[in-house]
Amino acid sequence: MAVEATTGAELVLTRRSFRSFMSDVFGPLLQVFLFVIGSAVVLGGIVILLAVALRGARTDIDLLQGTITILPQVIIDGMVRGFLYATIALGYTMVYGVLEFINFAHGEIFMVGAFTGAFFSAALAASGMLTTLNPVLFVIAAVLLGMAVSGLLAMSVERVAYRPLRGAPRLVPLISAIGVSLVLQDVMRMIAVNTGLGFNAQFRTPDLGQPLVLAQMPISDERTIPVSIDSRSLIFIVVAILMLIGLNYLVNITKLGKAIRAVAQDRPTASLMGIDVNRVIALTFLIGGALGGAAGILFGMRVGTINPYVGFLPGLKAFTAAVLGGIGNITGAMVGGIVLGFLEAFVASYLSLFTRGQFSGASYADIVAFSILILILVFRPSGLLGEVVTQKV
């Protein structure tokens, strides 16, 4: 969180200027957009080069044309994955910032968020309001509900399972967090199975509209295929961006944000300055959990069917994203999420194409994510945006 700490360090107590306000709130977002464009251009370039290089190897279809045809779809997919990982990674990174502790149960907080949405939609469907409800209203209500439930859950988990262990050796709270993760999975399964929602819960939504056609791609002389963005993906991206703006405002402008940054920088000193450290830590869990919950709702809405173990892999990958961006660094988590999402989307789509379906891209995408985690930790443990920190003795 070192980057934020420097921007907030000025001692000007008067009203901040409009310009510094804009740069604090939208600056990190600008960086995220640069990475979105950069990832798209770099990875797109790589696959096109690969396609040109491998063109002769495949005679049955035109590899280059195939590559270019699916490219816009892959970029959109990458953005959705990227924002998913970014929103979850924020929860990891904020908690790591204040406590230097990996909240292993964060993936399950995300899963609980998704289930909250499924319960909400099931309740609406039961009362017959689901089809008549305004879709915008539905999305807003579901996201707010998921944020509230997940945020409060994260806060209570901290109170019950982590706070008693503060000051214990590092592995002790981590093991406790693994326990919390398992308990949440099974408790949610128990609830879901016994309330009629079922193990594979349906996430029903009102009609969210047709896919938005962005352009027509020519594939041969006359025929074109539409480049479209699914309405649910669009909702995902828009809500995620709004949340990131909100978070930047909260962390960089408000007094609470200043307190969080102070606790992250130096907990004992922050406590001497009159900051209630326990309260700040609890609120950090609340904010991180709320972001995870909102991501869960959006994820559930997009995939349609969820189960209690759905949080594990996104959680692990979001942690990878947080490490990739430099753990503890809020902008880094967003950037890391975007980069990881793009990499995964490209591997998932192009590995099968380039190897004639010999390797299933979707399953090897997971391996790519973990390989990135290992490579980053070995060669640049501080991440893309992190600062090099020497370990204190």
Find the binding residues for another protein in span 294-323 (CB under 8 A). 312, 316, 319-320, 323
Find the binding residues for another protein in span 18-57 (CB under 8 A). none
Q: Please, what is the minimum distance in Å from the beta carbon of residue 243 to another protein? A: 25
Range list of β-strands (E), 160-257: 201-202, 212-218, 224-229
Residues 321-350, mask of contacts with another protein (x by CB under 8 A): --x---------------------------
| Rg over CA atoms, the chain | 22
What is the C-alpha to C-alpha distance for residues 144 and 136, in angstroms, rounded to an integer? 12
Count of all residues that appear for the chain in the document: 393
> With binding defined as CB under 8 A, does residue 389 bind another protein?
no
> With binding defined as CB under 8 A, does residue 363 bind another protein?
yes
Q: Please, what is the minimum distance in Å from the beta carbon of residue 290 to another protein? A: 23
Cβ neighbours for 2, distance < 8 A, ≥ 6 positions apart: 265, 328, 329, 386, 387
Range list of β-strands (E), the chain: 201-202, 212-218, 224-229, 305-306
Beta-ladder partners of 218 = 224
| Among the listed residues 373, 382, 385, 386, the single contact to another protein using CB under 8 A | 373
> With binding defined as CB under 8 A, does residue 367 bind another protein?
yes
Choices 12-20, 279-287, 328-336, 371-379; region in contact with another protein by CB under 8 A: 371-379
| Among the listed residues 22, 305, 374, 387, the single contact to another protein using CB under 8 A | 374
| Among the listed residues 29, 125, 133, 172, the single contact to another protein using CB under 8 A | 172
Q: Which of 29, 65, 26 is nearest to 48 (CA)?
A: 65
Report CA-CA distances (Å) from 229 to 76, 77, 110, 242, 286. Answer: 7, 9, 24, 19, 32
Asked whether the CA dihedral 288, 292, 297, 301 is positive or negative, the reply is positive
| Among the listed residues 41, 61, 168, 213, the single contact to another protein using CB under 8 A | 168
CB 199 within 8 A of CB 189: yes
- Our CB check for another protein shows the closer of 22 and 182 to be 182
Q: At what angle do helices 277-303 and 231-252 cross, to 10 degrees?
A: 170
Residues 76-115, mask of contacts with another protein (x by CB under 8 A): -------------------------xx-------------
Q: Please, what is the minimum distance in Å from the beta carbon of residue 171 to another protein? A: 5
Which spans of this chain sit near another protein (rule: CB under 8 A)? 101-102, 161, 164-165, 168-176, 178-187, 190, 193-194, 312, 316, 319-320, 323, 358-360, 363-364, 366-367, 369-371, 373-374, 377-378, 381, 391, 393
